[in-house]
Chains A and B, each alone.
Chain A
Amino acid sequence: MAQLSYFFSVYGSLVNFIGINALLALSLYVTLSAGQLSLGNAAFAGIGGYTAGILTTRFGVPYMMSLLAGALVAALVGFLLGMPVLRLRGVFLAMATLSFGEVVRIAAVNLKITGGAEGLMGMPTHTKTWFIYLMIIGVCYFLAKLRYSSVGWSFESIREDETAASAMGINTTYYKTLAFTIGAFIAGLAGAMYAHLNYIITPGEFGFSAAVNLLIYCIVGGSRVWYGPVLGAALLTALPEILRGIGVTAGPIRMFVNGLILLIVILFLPNGLVSLFQHRKTADASVLACVGIGEE
């Protein structure tokens, strides 16, 4: 127990950051599971974080209410944004969400109510480690259930082939917008919790590089199963500490290792690190599922 409390006094904030990043990665996982590449999830986290932070600091709204409000506002923005942009595909969707994210960031820099470039300060630090992980468990449970529901199968079919899915009678616009909105909700929740973890949030934390980092978590961990993004976020958030542990302190080398891991994963493990732990049999089954045989 003493060791545990020592561990937390040293690595407590790392454990918290892993949790927040895992939640954010899960938010992107939902969008990716419907085959949509969004670079706007960091901005949704920003919207959630600023909404919650403004509510608690300016209007004295209770913490839990502010979390819910942050997540709902992010989901609403996600819904409104999703309707027009989800007509775009692939790289074009990525760029549209990216430019949306930049507009949100620049708005946060320029608005008075968000505290400008210095950021929003004075949030009560109510977010506790146990609560973050409780939320992760809840979200994971929801996503694991969702995967084998009819909604999950619709997402999967859109991911595999959007044209074929719509030919099968799946309302692709509805399901894509749904995936986008759920993703925005989770991102907004994570952002709202993050705002009450740190006392301060700044616009830069929700910019382009944050959006790319989320994508990297999902790819490195694996974006086909819900525990992939959690694994990726945990590994890559802890990586600087791990490298410090084995004696690498130079910043550039850490960054290089980050890039190298990503490259190796995309070249040799296209389904992410989780495919290392899966039995070959299930891998074969998923290949068969792709071509439409096997699997009931």
Chain B
Amino acid sequence: MNLLLQQLINGLFIGSVYGLFAVGYTLVFGVLDILNLAHPAVFTLGGLTALWLVETAGLRLWQAFPIAVLVAGLLGLLLDRVAFAPLRQRADTYFSGLISSIAMAIMFESVALGLFGAHTVRFPANTVPLHIWRFAGVTVTSLQVEIVAVALLLMVGLTQFLKHSRTGKAIRAVAENDRMARLLGIHVDGIIAFTFFISSALGGAAGILFGLYFDSLSPDMGRSIELKGLAVIVLGGMGSIPGAIAGGLAFGLSEVLTVAITGTSNLRDAVAFAVLFAILLLRPSGILGRGRMREA
């Protein structure tokens, strides 16, 4: 019983990181209807930049975190300017945008490889002071609590930002109908660029938290979360922020529960993808989706 409780808590922790990653993924999809496959590469570069700042530049983690997040956001701007903006007027923009994001992902990953090498690295041992709490047979570390707190804070912050701020409303207007938004005097191009900035900044933050949680970072770490992120945003409904958060948590839980039930980690991903496949066939708009399917 305690073991199960422990697994559930672990699932919640990792699920919050998945959620944070997926929120950025789904934000761009919601606004542009484009799948940004370079998101996992930004995630990797965010984590590795934070590591470099801590290890080589000698910053504390709380200083390195915002700088690395900013760097990730700037990568998002670069992505938009180089890979997406030139294709925006093209008829097959969904398809060509997908391809150019793959191209950017390959280039980002090669930059990560060139700068940081192919080996697995980790944050220095005392980056985060560690406390361990035990109650009712369940172990929780302060690091886990901090990761969940940061992830939830960012996700709630984004939701509030989109709901109440002027820019957030503009983003939602562009997502709804970009032509109408333009007619209403919204600077659509700027809003899209800003959306990429936020999306990538969140992706970078997820990369840092992921690296701290698993205590390892490598240039190909984006690949392990790329497909999970896709599964999460489909599960939650493409373009839905609350859906991505809920989907991330559900995915984290399903992973640990599969391991707990089958006793091995072999089938962990199979269950996730089988669920993804079933949802696509039965309810393509996802659990919290907007009820209509885009012909992207």
Contacts and interface: CB of A to CB of B under 8 A. Distances in A.
Interface string A253-267: 111101110110011
B296 interface: yes
A89 interface: yes
B201 interface: no
Interface stretch (B16-24, B63-71, B270-278): B270-278
A98 B295 contact: no
Contacts of B87: 266-267
A84 B282 CA distance: 10
A92 B276 contact: no
Interface stretch (A45-53, A99-107, A166-174): A99-107
A75 interface: no
A99 B103 contact: no
A263 B114 contact: no
Interface string B215-259: 000000001001100110010001000000000000000000000
Nearest to A109: B266
B96 A99 contact: no
A85 interface: yes
Nearest to A290: B91
A252 B106 contact: no
A107 B274 CA distance: 11
Contacts of A94: 35, 98
Contacts of A91: 33, 35, 94, 98, 238, 296
Contacts, number: 125
A96 interface: yes
B98 A99 contact: no
A256 B110 contact: yes
A193 interface: no
A219 B99 contact: yes
A253 B114 contact: yes
B110 A208 contact: no
A40 to B, nearest CB: 11
A250 interface: yes
Nearest to B96: A266
B90 to A, nearest CB: 7
Nearest to B106: A259
B34 to A, nearest CB: 8
B106 A208 contact: no
Name the residue among A91, A102, A270 with the largest chain B CB count within 10 angstroms: A91
A266 B103 contact: yes
B293 interface: yes
A85 B284 CA distance: 11
A42 to B, nearest CB: 14
Contacts of A96: 277, 280-281
B270 A103 contact: yes
A89 B269 contact: no
B267 A110 contact: yes
B99 A92 contact: no
Interface string B61-94: 0000000000000000000001100110010101
Contacts of A259: 103-107, 110
Contact of B281 (A85, A110, A251): A85
Given A102-B269, A110-B267, A256-B110, A95 B102 contact: no
Contact of B296 (A92, A250, A270): A92
B269 A106 contact: yes
B94 A263 contact: no
A95 B230 contact: yes
Contacts of A255: 106-107, 109-110, 113
Range of interface residues on B (Cβ < 8 Å): 35 or more
A92 B285 CA distance: 10
B5 interface: no
Given A106-B269, A252-B110, A270-B96, A92 B102 contact: no
Nearest to A262: B103
Interface string A102-145: 11001101100000000000000000000000000000000000
Contacts of B99: 215-216, 219, 262, 266
Contacts of B161: none
A267 B295 contact: no
Nearest to B86: A267
Contacts of A107: 270
A37 interface: yes
Given A102-B273, A208-B223, 19 more contacts: A37-B98, A85-B281, A91-B33, A94-B98, A95-B230, A95-B234, A96-B280, A99-B227, A103-B277, A106-B266, A110-B267, A212-B102, A215-B102, A252-B111, A259-B106, A263-B83, A266-B99, A267-B100, A270-B96
Interface of B: 33, 35, 82-83, 86-87, 90, 92, 94-96, 98-100, 102-107, 109-111, 113-114, 118, 223, 226-227, 230-231, 234, 238, 266-267, 269-270, 273-274, 276-277, 280-281, 284, 293, 295-296
Interface of A: 37, 84-85, 88-92, 94-96, 98-100, 102-103, 106-107, 109-110, 208-209, 212, 215-216, 219, 250-256, 258-260, 262-263, 266-267, 270
13 contacts: A85-B281, A88-B280, A88-B281, A91-B296, A107-B270, A208-B227, A219-B99, A255-B106, A259-B103, A262-B99, A262-B102, A263-B82, A266-B87
Closest 6 CB pairs of A and B: A259-B106, A252-B114, A255-B110, A263-B103, A259-B107, A262-B103
